[in-house]
Structure 1
Amino acid sequence: MKHRTYTICSGGTLGSWVLPYLKEAGALIGADRGALFLVDHGFVPEISLGDFDSVTLEELERVRSGSRQFISCDPVWKDLTDTEMAFTWALEQGAEEITLCGVLGTRWDHSLANVHLLRRALDAGVQCRIVDEHNELRLMDGRAPLRLTQGRYSHVSLLPLTLSVSGITLHGFRYPLREATLTIGQSLGISNVLTAGEGTIQVRDGLLLVIQSSEEEASG
């Protein structure tokens, strides 16, 4: 059965904070140790895949028996990270929305590579976000404005993912911008705040990473 929305759970930083996202997911995909997290918390992944080099044989069997589909690959000869394998599988199913959980953590090489997956989603016309306990990341370009609403996130930061992003216009923010340009290395877009119930971000050219952040205490 194909679904419209998919939530990928990878083996990065996970905790009880992720459970609400998993409960409202259309279909769940487990990537490596993220699949073990799903199964051990009572969820049934639509598919679990990866090299599973971070789980024991007993844990691997729990994942295999607790998933609707299961794909294991050689950790040496595969060309994609476990998260990109899961992401690619979701695209192949015709996903319209993808949420990535557990894709940020102590390995910055993996974390940054996962942020770059937002570009693949944008090119494919798929709505995509990365969430962790304190942040939600989206990527936008000049094709459509991005609307944000006030909620659990207290700050909104803007960072260019291309050398420069031009024509940035903000409405409903404490620090407004009009036809502004951000270049890599500038901190002008850090820590803005929504002042209205809804804020709008528009750009003309380039790729803009939009990060909503919360300063709430960790919940484990």
Structure 2
Amino acid sequence: MGAIFQVLVGGPTHNWPHALRTGKLDGRWAAADRGALRLLQLGYHPELVVGDFDSMTLAEQESVFEVIPKIVEKPDQMQTDLQLLLTTLDENYDIERIDVYGATGGRLDQLFSNVWILAEEKFTALRTKVRLIDRDNVVTFFNPGTHTITKIPEMKYLGFMPLTPVTELNLLDEKYPLAAWSGNPVSWSSNEFNGSINHFSFETGIVAVIQSRDSDENDA
């Protein structure tokens, strides 16, 4: 069985799921930059932190560096903290799954960057193991093939977002089916499940699947 990591990057805390904000998410943790400090303050114990650490004071850096086993400093700005974090995990562990928190909300440039990172060729094998999670959304990523998706009970909507040009996208048994669509990146939003398990397929490209709910339905 591979390693399952939970990862915190720099998004606003109000977008975190309730279980994260209250220190109730068990498991192995890694963080980007100031995310490590936030995790320590909540009682989590990350194994790895990456970044240039310019968002922390020297005193905060010392408090993080003395308790986290593996520190990876970002050498330049040619990659984001999340890119470096995913690469480091991929190179050092046999990964089964990575759940990323703090990748949404706040600045839109960072949001789109965090989504399109998973379209990079170097993450081909890793992308299907990554989920981006916040209080109202769970984003998963798929390579070509026929796929089964399971409804997350608290989520209502289902979106399909090709991140690259795709061919022969079929939404097979969703509320609003789609047959043999090919085209450039777009967002097929506001679909819904029929039952608790549905299926879709496509022949080429990369597709993100988003399960979501309206923000006024979330927990406090």
Take 2:94 and 2:100, find their aligned partners in 1: how far apart are those partners?
16
Question: TM-score, structure 1 length as denominator?
Answer: 0.84
User: Shift in Å at residue 122 of structure 1?
Assistant: 5.4
- Report matched runs for 1:1-220 at 5 Å: 4-15=3-14, 17=17, 19-20=19-20, 23-24=24-25, 26-73=27-74, 77-92=76-91, 93-120=93-120, 123-125=124-126, 126-163=128-165, 165-185=166-186, 189-217=188-216, 219=219
Deviations 1:114-144 (Å, cap 9, x if unpaired)?
1123234751255111111211112213234
How many residues are matched?
214
User: Residue type of the partner of 1:167?
Assistant: E
Take 1:3 and 1:214, find their aligned partners in 2: how far apart are those partners?
30
User: Shift in Å at residue 31 of structure 1?
Assistant: 0.4
Deviations 1:19-75 (Å, cap 9, x if unpaired)?
35975554211101111111110001011121111122232223223323223446x
Instruction: Report the secondary structure of 2:104's partner residue.
Output: coil
User: Shift in Å at residue 184 of structure 1?
Assistant: 3.2
Instruction: Report the secondary structure of 1:96's partner residue.
Output: strand
User: Residue type of the partner of 1:134?
Assistant: D
Take 1:36 and 1:20, find their aligned partners in 2: how far apart are those partners?
14
The runs of 5 or more residues in structure 2 that have no matched partner are: none
The runs of 5 or more residues in structure 1 that have no matched partner are: none
Take 1:109 and 1:12, find their aligned partners in 2: how far apart are those partners?
12
Take 1:67 and 1:32, find their aligned partners in 2: how far apart are those partners?
12
Cα gap change, 1:131 to 1:94, in 2 (>3 Å): same
Cα gap change, 1:23 to 1:69, in 2 (>3 Å): farther
* Identical aligned residues as a percent: 27
Question: TM-score, structure 2 length as denominator?
Answer: 0.84
